[in-house]
Structure 1
Amino acid sequence: MKKSYLSETVQSIQPSGIRKFFDLAATMEGVISLGVGEPDFVTAWNVREASIMSLEQGLTSYTANAGLISLRKELSHYLYKRFHIDYSPEEELIITVGGSQALDLAFRAILNSGDEVIIPEPCFVAYGALTTLAGGVPVYLSTTAEKDFKADSADLRTKLTPKTKAILLCSPSNPTGSVYSKEEFEDIAQFAKEHDLLIITDEIYAELTYDEAFTSVAAIQDMKERTILISGFSKGFAMTGWRLGYVAAPPVLRDAMLKIHQYSMMCAPAMAQYAAEEALKNGLEDVEKMKKSYRRRRNLFVGSLNELGLTCHQPNGAFYAFPSIKSTGMTSEQFAEELLLSEKVAVVPGNVFGPSGEGHIRCSYASSLDHLQESLSRIQRFLQARQVKEEASAILK
């Protein structure tokens, strides 16, 4: 098959850097994976039961393109009660096939060829690729651990050009776990209004904040009209395999995305939508239980990493730690590969999330306490063995 048959745009995109280490880990026995961005909880029984009931009742037809109106009404109520944002279920919401499809719809709906999207990084690996596939240009903005890997208006100004169309924000962040405060969002909101920019906000981890209440940028005064809110049920409700997300946006933007959704996807799976409706109605207690468990794990894991000399800022959301491994003198990829081969612990090298991630690794603490403690023991053994090797090498010199 000739390469010329392929789209040049697709050829220009690199495969996900996350997969390399998991493909290798899958061939090994006894590996503890701290890499998968997925809750280790099973979807709550009442949510699964709602889906089973829908199947038993034969509710297997297409739904409305935008999703079940009953689900959209429940989602509208949830967003208002939980995050203080008022969205019309009929005019401003679409149920999508995961948050990833919602992101794809947003980019394709707003970007013309050459339009630029400012993306603070380290960031989720799909952002740049989806921007490119929609004809846009990802403009990466480096952030630092000293600022908790967050951007402000002064940072954004350095990347502003006449072609800038939007800013993409992720809070809580994948991979760093950083969470923007209301005051930090107000600063960025003022910048967006000053330069007439849209904001795409990825809030898939909104339910998983630990030290302060979550604030959506869409809830900032006068920002709802220029914000596309992306989220879903995967992380907070432990429903990754159900592939159900949503997008909330002003009617003009929502209608543009709905047109693409109609032609490319028709609608999200009906049985998953019935499950999500039950999750919103009766699943928030389960969310709180998961959140408390993640908080305990975070405190143990991040505290232990710092004790081992792998400096790690306190992640206030999601379920990721992003420690620095610079003290080892290794690159992110070297560290991840050697740790996997020698101690069978799988982590993600930070550089796959952008140049600012170099010198760090991403570790998911969405794993049992036993696994986390064992992985910490293995990491300690790995660091000690490396130190002994370096000291022996120094003596020989």
Structure 2
Amino acid sequence: MLNLAFGEAGLPVHPALRERLAGAAGENGYGPVAGLPALREAAAGYWHRRGLPTDPDLVVCGPGSKSLLYGLLLAIGGDVVLPMPSWVSYAAQAELAGVRPLPVPAPPGEGGAPDPGLVASAVRRARARGRDVRSLLVTLPDNPTGTLAETDTVKKIVDIARELDLMIISDEIYRDLVHDPAAGFVSPADLAPERTVVTTGLSKSLALGGWRIGVTRLPSAGLRARLLAVASELWSSPAAPVQHAAAYAYTEPAEIGERIARSRRLHGIVARAAHARFTRAGVTVAAPRGGFYLYPDFTGLDFATSGELAARLLDRYGVGVLPGHAFGDDPAGLRVRVATSLLYGETAERRLAALDAADPLALPWIAASLDHLDAALRRLDADHRREGPASAGTAA
């Protein structure tokens, strides 16, 4: 079975991080709710090197950026504007927090940000009906689409947030995995630091999903106090040994920077190779720009929902994907999320070989996985193409 469903980075832990985790294993006391000073200072330095001067006192650490995002929804309060589609946990967390998501479609060909041309009217209509909309969330780069919102889109989102007095939550967990770093990256915090919260972590860039560590950059002491009140009751403090390893990672020594660069390269090569298979099969899919995701559109096949399509891909063709409706998309839209990061191998040895290979696509196990995808897409089209003018369209 070809597992394209799970969004895990799929690479081994760097030895230097294992050493620091083990070296701090004896630290078993409760730590500061905001996180260890060393980690907060290191995270502040990380943002400073990206053009965002940051006060360590306005950094809060948590057991993964996912926990921080939930804490922020509670601390900010009110309903939240979400791009549609968007990561599965945003809407679920909003519901758990007792607020409601306000989904707004992303601009055509982009993902991770709601369409600026639709946000203002959606918020005004919601407020006219008595809803208390206080925040807007973006994901840069995006999960599920693997795309990156254009600079102009981010600028317009910032202008609208100022006009409507919305807090911006910018989930930048994939920032260091933008495939072409030279292409540039604009965070809302670059343009509106007074109303932007940035979250990130090491789950994707350094494949530490199981270690559960994240950091957030806050715009004010008031929001920090509210978030710490939530954090004190939900997680107390992240695990101390993990914080020590994360502090080392966020100082970005050469060995860590080199590992991230190699990971970025591998993710980009394999995601682009999968993209080529979809486009060759006549499936519409935007080119990936960050992370390890694709969001193909199978319009023209004879399925009623994305759930039916995903089930058939798994049961008949041995390809596991997630249906678009899991990300808030229209169930009738035949879109699925594809994650390519588990194609690197099932053992640490194979994953390291993929990381080190001059041409990862020539490795037998990666080539076999892409061949499996090729064959599955051909069979799917032959078995389920609708008769008539409808088609999957041309590739983006």
**Which TM-score applies when normalising by structure 2?**
0.84
Are the aligned partners of 2:39 and 2:243 in contact in 1 as well (CA < 8 Å)? yes
In the other structure, the counterpart of 2:374 is 380
Deviation at 1:183, TM superposition (A): 2.7
Are the aligned partners of 1:351 and 1:359 in contact in 2 as well (CA < 8 Å)? no
C-alpha separation between the residues in 1 aligned to 2:154 and 2:53? 18
- Per the alignment, in what secondary structure is the counterpart of residue 238 of structure 2? coil
Structure 1: gaps spanning 5 or more residues:
1-30
Counterpart code for 2:339: S
Are the aligned partners of 1:117 and 1:137 in contact in 2 as well (CA < 8 Å)? yes
From 275, 282, 285, the counterpart of 1:312? 285
From 83, 104, 112, the counterpart of 1:141? 104
Deviation at 1:348, TM superposition (A): 1.0
In the other structure, the counterpart of 1:22 is none
Are the aligned partners of 1:142 and 1:356 in contact in 2 as well (CA < 8 Å)? no
Judged with a 3 Å threshold, the aligned counterparts in structure 2 of structure 1 residues 274 and 157 are, in CA distance, closer, same or farther, namely same
Judged with a 3 Å threshold, the aligned counterparts in structure 2 of structure 1 residues 389 and 235 are, in CA distance, closer, same or farther, namely closer
C-alpha separation between the residues in 2 aligned to 1:234 and 1:321? 19
Judged with a 3 Å threshold, the aligned counterparts in structure 2 of structure 1 residues 375 and 338 are, in CA distance, closer, same or farther, namely farther
> Which range moves more in the overlay, 379-388 or 128-137?
379-388
Are the aligned partners of 1:310 and 1:327 in contact in 2 as well (CA < 8 Å)? no
1:235 aligns with 2:212: no
C-alpha separation between the residues in 2 aligned to 1:333 and 1:371? 28
1:182 aligns with 2:151: yes
C-alpha separation between the residues in 2 aligned to 1:232 and 1:386? 37
In the other structure, the counterpart of 1:75 is 43
C-alpha separation between the residues in 1 aligned to 2:335 and 2:231? 37
Deviation at 1:144, TM superposition (A): 5.4
- Per the alignment, in what secondary structure is the counterpart of residue 340 of structure 1? helix
In the other structure, the counterpart of 2:115 is 152
Judged with a 3 Å threshold, the aligned counterparts in structure 2 of structure 1 residues 189 and 388 are, in CA distance, closer, same or farther, namely closer
Are the aligned partners of 2:141 and 2:291 in contact in 1 as well (CA < 8 Å)? yes
Are the aligned partners of 2:62 and 2:214 in contact in 1 as well (CA < 8 Å)? yes
C-alpha separation between the residues in 1 aligned to 2:385 and 2:298? 18
1:45 aligns with 2:2: no
Counterpart code for 1:152: D
> Which range moves more in the overlay, 153-162 or 376-385?
376-385
User: What is the CA deviation profile of residues 31-80 of structure 1, one whole-angstrom value per residue up to 9, with x for unaligned ones?
Assistant: 2211111111111110111001112xx22222211111011111101111
1:212-227 residue pairs with structure 2 within 5 A? 212-220=183-191, 223-227=192-196
1:1-397 residue pairs with structure 2 within 5 A? 31-55=1-25, 58-81=26-49, 83-90=50-57, 92-111=58-77, 115-143=78-106, 145-147=108-110, 150-161=113-124, 162=127, 163-211=132-180, 212-220=183-191, 223-249=192-218, 250-281=220-251, 282=253, 283-330=256-303, 331-356=305-330, 358-366=333-341, 367-368=343-344, 369=361, 370-389=364-383
Deviation at 1:255, TM superposition (A): 1.4
> Which range moves more in the overlay, 364-373 or 158-167?
364-373
Are the aligned partners of 1:339 and 1:379 in contact in 2 as well (CA < 8 Å)? no
> Which range moves more in the overlay, 179-188 or 367-376?
367-376
C-alpha separation between the residues in 2 aligned to 1:37 and 1:186? 29
Judged with a 3 Å threshold, the aligned counterparts in structure 2 of structure 1 residues 260 and 380 are, in CA distance, closer, same or farther, namely same
C-alpha separation between the residues in 1 aligned to 2:81 and 2:199? 17
Judged with a 3 Å threshold, the aligned counterparts in structure 2 of structure 1 residues 392 and 208 are, in CA distance, closer, same or farther, namely closer
Are the aligned partners of 2:110 and 2:148 in contact in 1 as well (CA < 8 Å)? no
Deviation at 1:150, TM superposition (A): 4.5
- Per the alignment, in what secondary structure is the counterpart of residue 104 of structure 2? strand
Are the aligned partners of 1:145 and 1:313 in contact in 2 as well (CA < 8 Å)? no
Judged with a 3 Å threshold, the aligned counterparts in structure 2 of structure 1 residues 171 and 279 are, in CA distance, closer, same or farther, namely same
Deviation at 1:225, TM superposition (A): 1.4
- Per the alignment, in what secondary structure is the counterpart of residue 9 of structure 2? coil
C-alpha separation between the residues in 2 aligned to 1:77 and 1:228? 16
Are the aligned partners of 1:33 and 1:347 in contact in 2 as well (CA < 8 Å)? yes
Judged with a 3 Å threshold, the aligned counterparts in structure 2 of structure 1 residues 349 and 36 are, in CA distance, closer, same or farther, namely same
Counterpart code for 1:239: L
C-alpha separation between the residues in 1 aligned to 2:206 and 2:289? 18
C-alpha separation between the residues in 2 aligned to 1:373 and 1:312? 21
Deviation at 1:149, TM superposition (A): 6.6
Count of residue pairs brought into register by the alignment? 355
Are the aligned partners of 1:72 and 1:89 in contact in 2 as well (CA < 8 Å)? yes
- Per the alignment, in what secondary structure is the counterpart of residue 200 of structure 2? strand
Judged with a 3 Å threshold, the aligned counterparts in structure 2 of structure 1 residues 310 and 199 are, in CA distance, closer, same or farther, namely same
Are the aligned partners of 2:104 and 2:115 in contact in 1 as well (CA < 8 Å)? no
Counterpart code for 2:44: S
Judged with a 3 Å threshold, the aligned counterparts in structure 2 of structure 1 residues 123 and 392 are, in CA distance, closer, same or farther, namely closer
RMSD: 2.1
C-alpha separation between the residues in 2 aligned to 1:391 and 1:279? 49
**Which TM-score applies when normalising by structure 1?**
0.84
Judged with a 3 Å threshold, the aligned counterparts in structure 2 of structure 1 residues 75 and 393 are, in CA distance, closer, same or farther, namely closer
Judged with a 3 Å threshold, the aligned counterparts in structure 2 of structure 1 residues 390 and 302 are, in CA distance, closer, same or farther, namely closer
Judged with a 3 Å threshold, the aligned counterparts in structure 2 of structure 1 residues 64 and 340 are, in CA distance, closer, same or farther, namely same
Deviation at 1:376, TM superposition (A): 3.6
- Per the alignment, in what secondary structure is the counterpart of residue 351 of structure 1? helix
